[in-house]
Structure 1
Amino acid sequence: MGQVAEAPGLTAKAVRHYESLGLVVPIRHEANDYRQYSLQDVDDLRFLQRARAVGFSLEEAGQLLDFYRNPQRKSAEVHALVVEKMSKLDQQWLALNLMRQPLSKMAAECAADDASDCAIINHLAEKPIVNNMPFTLVEVSNE
């Protein structure tokens, strides 16, 4: 298992996981329960590792592996999968950029010195303006 995992740069745990998902199916010897991986299995593992390295999920990598194994595949289907992935990445990038903007503003306002006053902490601790709330805050006594 270790040698098979090393060839494509995977861990033995990852190879077992891919096997449990049915992405690779080694020959099992009944006498000793050893797994025998073919050169095609190693090639498939290398393919999966490359697909994962460029950001495809396991499910997407499995779909790509199915395309890879199918000589009758249509490049338009492969292309559609990649374009869909790029669209998802664009959406994630936009969401991350929206999260980054207030962080950038807070970092710019922070003196980043030895003083205890911190613009970042102050910003995160800000209380909302009550007049703009669609509800009323009520103080509750614990007595």
Structure 2
Amino acid sequence: MKIGELAKQTNCTVQSIRHYDKEGLICTWARSEGNFRLYDRSTIERVLFIKHCRNLDLSISDIRKLLQLNDSPNAHCDDINIMIDNHVTEVEQRINDLQTLRKQLQSLRNNCSGKKTVKQCGILSNLNSLDCG
């Protein structure tokens, strides 16, 4: 099948499929006489696997490792567990960072009632007085 059909069947953009191909995550099965990339049916499952991993915010590097391990079904899965544990830790840190950001924004928002002019705005006053150093 051509790339457009693969994109349609996986609900993935052609650009993403080209990117996955360039990154070595999927392989072009063959080329047509018109030099179009051709993919086989197994590529659909592979692209769907990649999309699921991307939805979990896994990096291309991590997906590459998972695909390599997936292609070695008798290997131990310790590396997979470590990878996911590390990803969970990263996500927890981002959640903490976002919670801190929310508190900062709420604190900033409390500086203005909205019944003032821009010149009197407590939010802008606070932003202008922040030390960027």
Structure 2 contact 32–38 (Cα < 8 Å) conserved: no
TM-score, normalization: structure 2? Answer: 0.85
- Provide the TM-score with structure 1 as the length reference: 0.80
| Larger relative contact order (Cα-Cα within 8 Å, sequence gap ≥ 6) | 2
Partner Cα separation in structure 2 for residue 5 and residue 69 of structure 1: 23
Structure 2 gap segments, 5+ residues each: none
Amino acid at match of 1:60: D
Q: 1:86 to 1:127 in 2, by over 3 A?
A: closer
Q: Is the 8 A contact 1:26 1:35 kept in 2?
A: yes
Instruction: Please provide the CA RMSD for this pair.
Output: 2.0
Contact residue 27 and residue 36 of structure 1 kept, 8 A: yes
Give SS of 1:7's match. helix
Equivalent residues in 2 for 1:43-54, closer than 5 Å: 43-54=45-56
Report matched runs for 1:90-129 at 5 Å.
90-113=92-115, 115-116=117-118, 117-126=120-129
How many residues are aligned here?
A: 129
Overall identity of the aligned pairs, in %: 19
CA offsets, 1:73-118, max 9 Å, x none? 3222211111100111111222222233221101122212353321
Tell me, yes or no, if the aligned pair for 1:7 and 1:46 is still in contact at 8 Å.
no
Please give the secondary structure, in 2, of the residue aligned with 1:109.
coil
| Matches of 1:39 and 1:127, distance apart in 2 | 57
